[in-house]
Amino acid sequence: MRATMATDGTALRTGTNRVAGARAVRCILVLVVWMLAAGGAVADEEAPNTCVTCHSALPEPLNLPVEGMKSDIHATKGLSCVDCHGGDATLMDATSMAPEKGFRGKPKPADIPAFCGRCHSDGAYMRRFNPRLPTGQLEQYWTSIHGQRLKNGDDKVATCVSCHGVHGRIQDSHRPGREVQA
């Protein structure tokens, strides 16, 4: 009878330990999941980008910039939609694209040189990223045959994006030239 009790007791204790062990493992798992979730939530709060959230859910062509930007040199350098287009990437509705938020929208062909040149002809700004990158493209553009014709009202000529692309193709189309130059 005693032996049986002891055996039962041992079995019971072992069982209790197993339950306790399983409970501890579950606790740790819950903790890890919670920490990951909390970490993700914090990261989202630090870098909200409603431009990306909303545009990725829109039909073509409005969603294409989101995918394209993943391989864009501007994104690689930490820039995002608002750096080019302006607007407020913390607002999850159309007010994010309000002119009073500095929104520039989609530039017309005739406005593209100034749109890109705003940064690329700003020596002090560009030096923060790459001191050796030339900043004369806008000036050179206006003296080129394309620039001359654009000035005279012909907007079928090549602008910056005709050669470099935009939303991702910039880097791809550009790399071979860089390698030759380097």
Binding site for ligand HEC (CB under 6 A): 50-52, 54-55, 58, 61-62, 65-66, 69, 73-74, 77, 79-85, 87-89, 92-93, 96-97, 105-107, 112-113, 115-120, 129-130, 133-134, 137-138, 141, 146, 158-164, 166-167, 170, 174, 177-178, 181
**Least CB distance from residue 44 to ligand HEC, whole Å?**
15
| String of DSSP letters for 40-97 | HHHHHHHS--HHHHHHTTSPTTTTHHHHHHTT-HHHHTT--HHHHH-S-TT-SSGGGG
Residue type, 63: N
> 12 or 62: whose CB is closer to ligand HEC?
62
> 37 or 168: whose CB is closer to ligand HEC?
168
> 8 or 44: whose CB is closer to ligand HEC?
44
**Least CB distance from residue 76 to ligand HEC, whole Å?**
8
**Least CB distance from residue 43 to ligand HEC, whole Å?**
18
**Least CB distance from residue 143 to ligand HEC, whole Å?**
11
Look-up: residue for tokens 């030096």? 127
Q: d(Cα 137, Cα 61) in Å, to the nearest integer?
A: 28
Look-up: residue for tokens 């553009």? 141
Q: What is the DSSP letter of 168?
A: T
How far is residue 170 from each of residues 47, 134, 160, measured CA to CA in Å?
A: 24, 16, 10
Q: d(Cα 58, Cα 32) in Å, to the nearest integer?
A: 34
> 106 or 156: whose CB is closer to ligand HEC?
106
**Least CB distance from residue 144 to ligand HEC, whole Å?**
7
